Structures are given as structure tokens and as C-alpha cells.
Structure 1
């Protein structure tokens, strides 16, 4: 059965009873999932297909893909109630979706990592977790300045001795080209602007960014304080600020109100505002980097926009069509082929009235959207989606609070996994027989060996998704030369384009079907 480690005898007993009740159902679903994937509908090669709904031991509000292929998730207790002070979970996709694939682990840090910020640590592949939820007089949703690290080699979450200068709740952490992390945004105090219990003058936000060095020490960017870019103003810009490293090595910030900023993180920091801006969005709408220096962002009224950061003077903005419906609290996920899949959300907010079960796929080559498969259940506030090494997407969670307490997930099988003859059968996949097991550098050639001739090589940075945002993921079409089944590949040119860390390497056959990815480390 599912492993529950570090818990008392009484707690183990409660888990045993709970999961025994579901064991027969879950086992049946896991076998049924394989049959559905093997014999999906006749449009599976066009729309993709969902596997069966399966249970999770917590609501996976936040999910991170670790370099061993497992998913680190956290957000609630096993009843789906807000709070991650006692528990977190690990899912091993290679074991399927039955109860044996999950571990519930004890959080002994005394930090409630509910709605914390997260990023991967280059080199070690550990998870950096910053901030989280705090209680004052037994009232939730204050903030903490705690820093924790999850180590997948020991499955432990460890509180760090060096804390941040500022308390942060709903903050963003971004991996920088030198392996450091910048942290920005987040709320400092529960008495936020607009609160019925306090005037706006009592609102406090963490409007000064800070940087964590690779040795764990912190420095504040005292010259880059801004309420508008990632603080109290600018349409809740403190709420998981949308930020990415740009091709020039600085941080690009896309505010929810449409303003755009450049942050140079050296020294005390230099923040500058671009003269152009785009249509306003909301904190509940998704944005994702789908190509080097290019961001697809979903704005109000179903409008999608591409922001190209490759121009060093200012971002170049272009239209990317319209989604079929508004998707507040939905998530955009870059797939293994560089297309962007958007699932979940609701046109009416965190409720079921406008909930979208159908999903949509954007093709960056044709700049067009198409309807894709429909899910079994709604994914609203506190849901997340994450690309897996086999090219599928796990989408799960929602609730705490919400109309549904979603202690469950579904796996989406994209169109590229199916035969194109309408049979609904999974297509034969190439295999990667050999790939670099040691770190590679930038602008470097390396060789991979496949089971057949290869027509394409793609690279996707491992993801870290929460609250409609995955700031870690990046996609690359890699140039290569093939001699039979041996492929010589060129890595991304610089850490500005591909920050150091772990990536999923896919090879594709002539039929447009990807391999299961190999993890490679850059930097």
C-alpha cells in the first residue's frame, strides 16, 4: 500500500483504513488506464486523451519534477485541508497511479509550505522552497521568511539556517544564469489592501527582491524596491510575479496589469520599466516560456499574446489568437514538441458555473488554437499541471478553498503519442539507448544513441508548477547531425537561454513520436 513514513501508530492506522477502502478501486483504475491509453478514441491523434481519474493522498497544489523522475508535491493535509506543515508527498510515475506509487512524508521543519515559492537547485537537483504560510493568533495566511530544501536522495525537507530578509507568501523564485536564485513578490502581512478588517495603510508586501547565493547566503536588492513591479500595486503584482531570465541575462517581469520591467540583479539591483505595455491580465491567468526568449501569456477576454525578449532594446509583442473560453486558474504547459496545452480554469472564477473540462492546444508555428480532449473533473484554484518524462502531463488538485476538494489527478496523453490512423492506439516510440550521464556545458556538442533514425531533438527544462504558473520550464529545438542512429547534438548557447539545472531530452522519429526523455544536466 501507499507508504506513510514518520507517523504515529494511530496515524498509520487511520491511513491504513482509508487506503484499504480505495485500494480495489485504485488498482482497477490503474489497469483500466493502461487499456484506455492503448485503445483511445479515433481522434486521439488530434485531441489527445485523458487517462482515468486517480486518487492522490493530498491536494497537489504545487508540483515539481525531480531529476530522478518522481514528482514532489505539497499543499494540504491528507484530508485536503489547507496547510502543509505536517505532510508532503512523492509520486513515482514509473509505478503507475495506484496507491503503491505514492509516499506521504512527514514535514518536520515547522514551516507550513502552503503557497510557498519554489525552484530547482542546479547541480544537486534539490528543490528550494521559500516562504509559506504563517499563523498569528491561530489565523492563517500570514507569511514566513523560512527557507527549506527538499533532497530527493533522502526524501527529507530540511529547514535552512539562513532565512530571507522578508516574509513572503505567494512569492516567485527564479534560477539565475550563475546558479543563484532571485526571489520577488509575495505578501508580508495578512492585513492586505482592501481587507475589511484593516485600512490600506496597514497593508504590507515584500516589495524588495533578494538573491540567494549558491552558498546559501542572502543579499537584498535595496535599489530595486517597487510596489508596482512586484508589490502592493499593479493588479496584485505581489501574487506569484511572472518573471523569467531573458536572453540578455537580466530578469524580465511581466506585471499582471500589462506593464513590463527589466531587473538587473547585480549589486543592489537596477529596475527599469519598458515604455511599451500589453493588455492587462489577472493573477489567475497563466503565462509560460515556450521557446528561447519567448513567452505565451494569456490575458483578459481570452486574448493570447507572445512577448519576444530577444530584442535587447524592448520586448516585441504580437498576437497569438484567442482561446475558446476564459480560463481563470487554468494552467499552460509546454509539451515535449513545444506546443502549449492549456487545461482547467473557469470563466466565472473559482467556481463550477463556468468551469472548463475541455482543453486547448496552441501551435506556435501556425499561431493557432485547437480544441483537445476533455477532462473528467474541474481544475480550478490550487490545481497544477506538469510535463512528465514520458511526454504526458499530470494535472491534479484544486480546492482548499474551492467548490471541490480535489484529492485526485488525471494524466493527459498528447496527440503525438498516438498512431495517426484513427485507431486510437499508442504509436511505437523510439528509445534513447545512450545519453550523457555527466553534466554538459553550453554551446557544446554531445552525442546520443537512439534505437532508430532520429528526425528531431527537443529539450525541456524540468518544471515547477503552482498557481497557474511554471516559471522553471523552457523549451528548445536542438540542432543536430545524424549518422544512422548516432546523433550529435548542440546544447543551448548560453546560461541566459538555458539556466543551469536538469532538463528532459527527447528524440523524435520520422512519424513525429517522441521517446521517453532522458534527464541531462547543464552547467
Structure 2
């Protein structure tokens, strides 16, 4: 039940109050537009499925008593990936760790703000009981409201992994899943990482429970809806593996915990095409307020500026990964102007990596900015 707040500037942890529901194992933590954090899913201290919804109040710096948090008494599975929608609701894309889907539909929309929090099914997701340790990603830009779910399996059932992907547009009044293009290889334990050029790297994976590693990687283009193969990670990446974006635009991949109990400590780094190009730069940036108009110092002919939230990933699950485009207008003397969205549900408060992309599609190295 212990809980701590990490200060990334000071590099220190500060203890806060215990989780009100007691011990909590394998929950997902999803940041809200208010800056609060919702914890759902996982197991309690007795290894039973936890149906508690717990909320960390960012203003008070503490977990709220259970009576102050709307409850669904719904079991989300272990490490369920929930994505914050632009209207403040949370979307469950069907990806979790271990076992079957928590509902027959496999996918849900959850409103945490109602007095009695509601969970509604979302139709159309295929292979709902074969999404164990697949991946889901809020496609760039987040303003488009589109989610892609990739691969998965069912380790408990010993089933073969799948190559299926499914797409959904959450801006629709009645959103429903549509089939996407198959992955180049069937796999669970697949990681999906948004790159600053607007593509998504999928990497790692295995065919069965902690075994049969798959050495394959590709880039997904949300515009063309197509996967293009890239060099694969030479290391096995199955159970307890993950991948995440670094501020220079490369991707780190690490971990692997096969059935023999060993754990790989070898880190791989994927360097996208733009790492060998002459890159633009951002020479000045600051803390950004919602709805503000900002002036940035840049070098190069800049056509796009993007904010990418840093990783909060485990077991391939990263509920908070998102890429938000900032509208750009030309400035003077090596400057450009950008508009920061006013909607905190689109851009939850906190730190982001800001990338400027030139008109040839080459992104800068990131500068850290704080939103809110």
C-alpha cells in the first residue's frame, strides 16, 4: 500500500499516504486532465482481483478516501491500458496482462467523473481473449482521437500469438473498432513507441508464454495505414520487456524474462532514419500555459512542433503515451509561434519532450517543457 511521489528535478522520492484500499499489485496509473491519477485493475494484498478505483489528488498530494472516489466495482484485469479521451473519459483498448478479457466486448469507455462511474462496452474488437500483452497506442496526433491495438496472445491458455491489429476513431458519436493491417509477424509482448516524425515503432515479442521470441520490427504510418519493416532488435524481448523514446529521438529496448527465470540486462537502441540527417534545433522554450500563444527560438525551416509525453511503461503497457501537435505560424529572426491547446484532457499537465520538425520531416533533439 506504500506510495511515493518522485521529483524529477531534485531526483528524490517523498512518501505520501498509503493507498486507501490496501496493497495493490499490477494496477495501471492513468493521468487525468486535472493532473490527478486514476489507479484501476491488478490484484489486492490477498492476490484477489482488485475492483477498487483509487484516485491520487495532485493538488492535495495524497490518495483520496475511497468514499470520495466514484466506484465501478469493475475488474479491469492486470495492467489494463486506459487512454484519456479529449472529453475526460477513459478508453480501455482491450490490452492487459495475463488471462482473458474482463468483459465479452473486450473494450470499454469509462467515465470517472460521474457520481456512479459508468463503464460502457465498445463493439468490434477482434480476438478479445488473445490480447494478453499486446500493445495499444493513441496514434499521433492525439487530436485525431484514433487508437491502434496490436497483437497479443493468451499465455494462461497457451494459445499462439496473433498478428491482428484493430483501429478505432474515438471522435465518433458511437465509436466501434475496424480491422487494421496485420503485423508483419504474430506476437505478444509487443511494444509500440510513438516517434517524433509521426510514425510508430513496433518491436519485440514472442509467440507463447515467456518463450519463442520473435525478432521483427516495423514502422506503422497512421496516414497510409501501413507497416514497413525495419532492422529487428537482435536481443530476445518477451516477458518483462519494454521500449520507450529517448530525448534524442532514438528508442531504448530492454528486458527479457524467459521461463528459466533469467533476466536480460542488455539494452538495445534503435536509431531511426533521421538520426543521420542534419537536424533542426529549438534554441529557446519555457513553461507553457493552457491556451497560450508561445514564441520559440529555432534553427531550420520548421513545419511542425510536437509534444511527446515521457514513458510510464511496464509490461508493454503505457497508458499515458501521447503525441500532441502544436499549430505553427511563422515568426521573425529565427523564431516561430505555436499555440498550446486549451483542453487539458488532450494535454494532461506535466513534463513533455518538445520536438520541432523541419519541412523535410527531420525532427530536432527534444527540449523539455512543462505544461500547466
**Which category describes the TM-score, using the shorter chain as reference length?**
0.7 to 0.9
Q: Which residue of 1 aligns with 2:361?
A: 512
* Unaligned 5+ runs, structure 1: 1-144, 192-203, 231-237, 418-425
Q: Partners in 2 of 1:356 and 1:493 — Cα distance?
A: 42
* Corresponding position: 1:358 with 2:216: yes
Moved more, 204-213 or 254-263: 254-263
Rounded to whole Å, the distance in 1 between the matches of 2:270 and 2:88 is 34
Is contact 1:328–1:347 with CA below 8 Å preserved after alignment? yes
Q: Is the 8 A contact 2:21 2:52 kept in 1?
A: no
Counterpart of 2:281 (choices 408, 411, 431) is 431
1:150 partnered with 2:150? no
* 1:403 positional shift: 6.3
Contact 2:124 2:178 in 1 (8 A): no
Give the RMSD, CA atoms, in angstroms. Answer: 2.0
| Residues 394/275 of structure 1: CA separation in 2 closer, same or farther (3 Å cut) | closer
- Asked whether the equivalents of residues 212 and 219 of structure 1 are also in contact (C-alpha less than 8 Å), the reply is no
Q: Which deviates more from structure 2 when the two are superposed, residues 275-284 or residues 365-374? A: 275-284
**Paired position in structure 2 for 1:196:** none
The aligned residue for residue 64 of structure 2 is 218
Distance 1:165 1:243 in 2: 20
CA spacing shift, 1:496–1:154, aligned 2, 3 Å? closer
Q: Partner of 2:207 in structure 1? A: 347
Count the aligned residue pairs: 345
3-state SS, counterpart of residue 147 of structure 2: strand
Instruction: Check conservation: 1:329, 1:349, Cα contact below 8 A.
Output: no
* 1:119-154 superposed Cα distances (whole Å, 9 cap, x missing partner): xxxxxxxxxxxxxxxxxxxxxxxxxx2212223334
Structure 2 unaligned segments of length 5 or more: list them: 96-100, 153-161
> Kindly tell me: are residues 147 and 401 of structure 1, through their superposed partners in 2, closer, same or farther at Cα, counting changes over 3 Å?
farther
Cα separation, partners in 2 of 1:391 and 1:251, compared to 1, 3 Å:
same
State TM-score, norm by structure 2: 0.86
Distance apart, 1:171 and its partner CA: 0.5
SS in 2 for 1:408: coil
Residue 175 of structure 1: CA displacement? 0.7
In structure 1, distance between residues paired with 2:81 and 2:184: 23
In structure 1, the partner of 2:300 is 452
Residue in 2 that maps onto 1:303 = 164
Q: Conserved in 2, the CA contact under 8 Å of 1:249 and 1:496? A: yes
Greater mean alpha carbon deviation, residues 168-177 or residues 149-158: 149-158
- What secondary structure does 2:320 align onto? coil
Q: 1:502 aligns with which of 351, 358, 361?
A: 351
Which one has the largest radius of gyration? 1
Equivalent residue number for residue 371 of structure 2 = 522
Matching residue within 289, 296, 299 for 1:441 = 289
Change in CA separation of 1:277 and 1:510 when aligned onto 2, cut-off 3 Å? closer
**Which structure has the higher relative contact order (CA within 8 Å, separation 6+)?**
1
Q: Hey, what's the Cα distance between the residues in 2 that align with 1:480 and 1:251? A: 29
1:159 offset after TM fit, Å? 3.1
Contact 1:458 1:505 in 2 (8 A): yes
Q: Determine the structure 2 residue equivalent to 1:245.
A: 84
- 1:336 corresponds in structure 2 to 196
Higher helix share: 1
Residue in structure 2 matched with residue 67 of structure 1 by the alignment: none
Q: Please give the TM-score of this superposition, normalised by the length of structure 1.
A: 0.62
Shift of 1:400: 7.2
Taking a change above 3 Å as real, the CA distance of residues 377 and 483 of structure 1, as seen in their structure-2 partners, is same
- Match for residue 271 of structure 1? 118
Which residue of 14, 29, 53 corresponds with 1:209? 53
